[in-house]
């Protein structure tokens, strides 16, 4: 069954892109056809542009990656688009695009391919960062995908959409993660798991306690712990190591 995983962070800079690459590498190692979609990327213009997240994921995980909109300034997407005079696609349009990718009814799919087994959708910053001029957020995208793709099998309604929350290891992460999980549940979207985006080589007391407390206070399983500096590994080493960062839940 084809599925969608929406990857959000509790904030910007929490390791979301590397966590997305790890999720992609793990799925690809299991034989899945994987596509990573970045609805909006900011900060890729000017004299010192950021490396697009899709380029990082494509290099590390060796999977297809698609950026839908690129904006020059390192700002929230709606602000960067307004300053640049760019019209952003609506969340509804992103939902239609992801559904087409799953079904293989888009020219993004390779010739002869029947769509993707897994489409990973990486957000920009945190869950409530605005992705379009109408106020649509990644939360709206996750919720709309969940309801658009839900199906009934033997009287049970389910959806092939999961949301993974990438969080920090250190002090403050419990509050930020609980806020993100609470917002998801308020929209009737139950998060599938947490990923610690950057685990220090020498964890302190806060990090050690948070590793146990994150699933305890949120009621959400800890799926993976990504080591600090994982993004600096060679693609070969990253793909070999990524499956080992995940836990049995």
**Can you give the pLDDT at residue 102?**
84
What is residue 158's predicted lDDT score, i.e. its pLDDT? Answer: 76
| pLDDT tens digits for range 231-244 | 999 999 999 999 99
Residues 97-134: tens digit of each pLDDT: 999 988 775 555 444 456 899 999 999 999 999 999 99
Question: To the nearest whole number, what is the mean pLDDT of the chain?
Answer: 92
- Residues assigned a catalytic role: 38
Give the Å distances, CA to CA, from 125 to 14, 39, 202, 228.
9, 12, 26, 19
pLDDT 10s digits, 79-101: 999 999 999 999 999 999 999 98
Confidence tier at 155 by pLDDT (50, 70, 90): low
d(CA 153, CA 172): 41
User: What pLDDT, on the 0 to 100 scale, is given for residue 47?
Assistant: 85
Task: Say what the pLDDT of residue 157 is.
Answer: 61
Q: What is the mean pLDDT of residues 33-44?
A: 96
Nearest alpha-carbon partner for 6 in 201, 134, 143 = 143
Per-residue pLDDT, averaged over 154-176, amounts to 89
Average pLDDT in the 4-13 region?
Answer: 96
pLDDT at 112: 43
What is the model's pLDDT at position 111?
A: 40
Read off the pLDDT of residues 190-234 as tens digits, 9 standing for 90 and up.
Answer: 999 999 999 999 999 999 999 999 999 999 999 999 999 999 999
How many Å is the Cα radius of gyration of the chain? 17
pLDDT at residue number 204: 97
> What pLDDT, on the 0 to 100 scale, is given for residue 109?
47
Joined tokens for residue 90: 């609506």
Residues 6+ apart with CB under 8 A from 49: 43, 72
Q: Residue 56: left if φ>0, alpha if ψ -120 to 50, beta else—which one? A: alpha
CATH of 3-245, one of 3.40.50.12160, 1.10.1040.10, 3.40.50.300, 3.90.1150.10: 3.40.50.300
For 61, 81, 113, the CA distances from 28, given in Å and listed in that order, are: 8, 33, 15
Q: What is the pLDDT of residue 69?
A: 95
Cα–Cα distances in angstroms (integers) from residue 244 to residues 29, 130, 214, 238, 247, in the given order = 12, 34, 20, 10, 8
15 φ, ψ (degrees, to nearest 5)? 100, 25
Residue 151 has pLDDT above 90, yes or no: no
Three-class SS state of 24:
helix
Q: Where are the domains of the chain?
A: 3-245
Whole-prediction pTM = 0.93
């Amino acid at each position: 069954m084809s599925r969608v995983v929406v990857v959000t962070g509790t904030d910007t800079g929490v390791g979301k892109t590397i966590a997305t690459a790890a999720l992609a590498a793990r799925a690809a190692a299991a034989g899945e056809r994987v596509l990573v979609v970045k609805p909006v990327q900011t900060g890729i213009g000017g004299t010192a542009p950021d490396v697009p997240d899709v380029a990082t994921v494509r290099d590390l995980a060796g999977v297809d990656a698609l950026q839908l909109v690129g904006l020059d300034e390192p700002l929230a997407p709606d602000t960067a688009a307004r300053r640049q005079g760019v019209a952003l696609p609506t969340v509804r349009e992103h939902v239609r695009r992801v559904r087409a990718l799953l079904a293989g009814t888009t020219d993004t799919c390779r010739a002869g391919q029947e769509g993707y087994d897994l489409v990973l959708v990486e957000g920009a910053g945190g869950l409530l960062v605005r992705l379009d001029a109408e106020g649509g957020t990644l939360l709206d995208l996750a919720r709309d995908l969940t309801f658009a793709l839900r199906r009934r099998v033997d009287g049970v309604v389910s959806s092939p959409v999961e949301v993974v929350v990438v969080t920090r290891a250190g002090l403050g992460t419990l509050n930020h993660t609980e806020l993100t999980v609470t917002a998801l549940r308020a929209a009737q979207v139950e998060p599938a798991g947490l990923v610690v985006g950057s685990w220090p080589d020498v964890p302190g007391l806060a990090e050690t306690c948070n590793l146990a407390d994150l699933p305890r206070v949120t009621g959400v399983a800890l799926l993976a712990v990504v080591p600090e500096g994982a993004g600096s590994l060679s693609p070969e080493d990253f793909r070999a190591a990524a499956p080992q960062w995940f836990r049995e839940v």
